[in-house]
Amino acid sequence: MANSPFLNALERYMITRRYAKRTIKSYVYWVYKYILFHNKQHPKDMKERHVEHYLAHLANEMNVAPSTQSLALNALVFLYREFLKQPFKHTLNFNHSQQPTKLPVVLTQLEVKTLLTHLSPNVLLPCQLMYGSGLRVMEVTRLRIQDIDFDYSSIKIWQGKGNKNRIVTLAPELKPALLAQIEQAKTVAQNDLNVNNYAGVWLPFSLSKKYPNAAYDPQWHYLFYSQKRSYDSHSHNAVRRHHIDESGLRKAIKSAAKAALITKNVSCHTLRHSFATHLLQSGADIRTVQEQLGHSDVKTTQIYTHVLERGANCVTSPLSALF
């Protein structure tokens, strides 16, 4: 892949438009696999039927998960629409991957409470936000100071999954801890201004053009900041301070679950699943939960009603009648 001028050009194109590193890596990978599947034909010489054939191959022969097939589709749509400027002229027709939908792992409220008590102080607050506000791990790590709205007890999520924006609830009990974290983050941001070659906090390309001084404004800096500054790989000698790494939170959650003797397969996303399920349990409307989670389709949110319907005292076992 590294020796392909075409793929290198695609990667550079995405870098200049500030796509996430993970997205760039995934899209380049699936474009590479698409080209290999069609015997290294150039994508500009292929049509919709080639894309359909490849996506069907992923479902029929490779038996990939629906999410994997969707990722490959997104990569190819981007390739043709954005990079090659040859958007598809009609809706693609291909076999979709069909695999049983997995029920999410959900903790009880007591399990959540126990899990949180086993977290170290440096990761407790972001984990409390994942459960208390239903945030994805990438959303909590990318929070900026100004995203916290104490007046309306809410958090603004910008460019979440699918580049969607939304406003979520904020537990008032977290206000003291958040205020302390904000003060720490502001102090670090102010001190960084005195560092040689400091280029401010990273901003999406469109925002950096619209607000040229925002990168140096503490309000734009990350709430959960990295302990170390680093060089910006896209700018010569520019120094920035990034947000905390997602992997640190993932490892902390796994370790806390083990220490708490929780046998379920717990991850960061388990806190988001638990947030949604507990909201529904408390009587929240499913549309409200959908908005809080940022789901485009309510059908995605309905998976949490299945968790409640398949247990949680909603169905009486016939065995109970024998006692």
Of 9-18, 76-85, 90-99, 158-167, highest mean pLDDT:
76-85
Confidence band of 190 (pLDDT split at 50, 70, 90): very high
Q: pLDDT-based confidence at 235, cuts 50/70/90?
A: low
Q: 313 or 213: which carries more pLDDT confidence?
A: 213
Q: Is the pLDDT of residue 220 over 60?
A: yes
Q: Is 185 helix (H, G, I), strand (E, B) or coil?
A: helix
CB 115 within 8 A of CB 262: yes
pLDDT at 313 over 60: no
Share of the chain above pLDDT 70, in %: 93
How far is it, in rounded angstroms, from Cα 267 to Cα 25?
Answer: 23
pLDDT-derived band of residue 319, with 50, 70 and 90 as boundaries?
A: low
Provide the mean pLDDT of the chain: 90
Give the model's pLDDT for residue 2. 54
* pLDDT score, position 198: 92
Q: Amino acid letter at 54?
A: Y
Which token pair is 315? 């169905």
Query: From CA 50, how far away is CA 29, in angstroms rounded?
Result: 17
- pLDDT at residue 205 above 70? no
Residue 243 has pLDDT above 80, yes or no: yes
Q: Is the CB of residue 239 less than 8 Å from the CB of residue 246?
A: no
Catalytic annotation present for 136: yes
Q: Is 216 a catalytic residue?
A: no
For residue 314, pLDDT beyond 80? no
Q: Where in the chain is the domain with CATH 1.10.150.130?
A: 5-83
**Amino acid making up residue 106:** V
The model's pLDDT over 95-151, given as tens digits with 9 standing for 90+, comes to 887 766 677 899 999 999 999 999 999 999 999 999 999 999 999 999 999 999 999
273 annotated active-site: no
Q: Choose, from 27, 54, 136, 278, the residue flagged as catalytic.
A: 136
What residues contact 213, with CB distance under 8 A and at least 6 apart? Answer: none
pLDDT at 232: 80
pLDDT value, residue 173: 96
N residues, the chain: 323
Which pair of structure tokens corresponds to residue 11? 């990667």
Q: What is the CATH number of domain 5-83?
A: 1.10.150.130
Of 138, 128, 153, 133, give the one whose Cα is nearest residue 293.
133
125: closest CA among 1, 224, 241?
224
Return the pLDDT at 19: 80
Average pLDDT in the 51-65 region? 92
pLDDT at 1 over 60: no
Q: Would residue 210 show up in a list of annotated catalytic residues for this protein?
A: no
Q: Report the pLDDT averaged over residues 61-83.
A: 92
Q: At residue 248, does pLDDT exceed 90?
A: yes
- Planar angle of CA 108, 112, 130, nearest 5 degrees: 115
The Cα–Cα gap between 120 and 131 comes to 16
Is 304 noted as a catalytic residue in this protein?
A: yes
Q: Write out pLDDT tens, residues 45-54.
A: 999 999 999 9
Judged by DSSP in three states, 222 sits in strand
Query: Residue 217 is which amino acid?
Result: D
According to the per-residue pLDDT averaged within each range, which of 89-103, 106-120, 209-223, 302-316 is highest? Answer: 106-120
Ranges in the chain annotated CATH 1.10.443.10:
109-306
Tell which residue, 11, 7, 74, has the closest CA to residue 233: 11
Question: Is 29 one of the annotated active-site residues of the chain?
Answer: no
- Residue 307 confidence (pLDDT): 74
> Which pLDDT belongs to residue 234?
67
Mean pLDDT of 266-290: 94
Which listed residue (161, 258, 306, 310) is catalytic?
161
d(CA 53, CA 57): 6
Taking the model in full, what pTM does it have?
Answer: 0.80
Fold that domain 109-306 belongs to in CATH: hpI Integrase; Chain A (1.10.443)
Per the residue annotation, which of 144, 272, 273, 278 is the catalytic one? 272
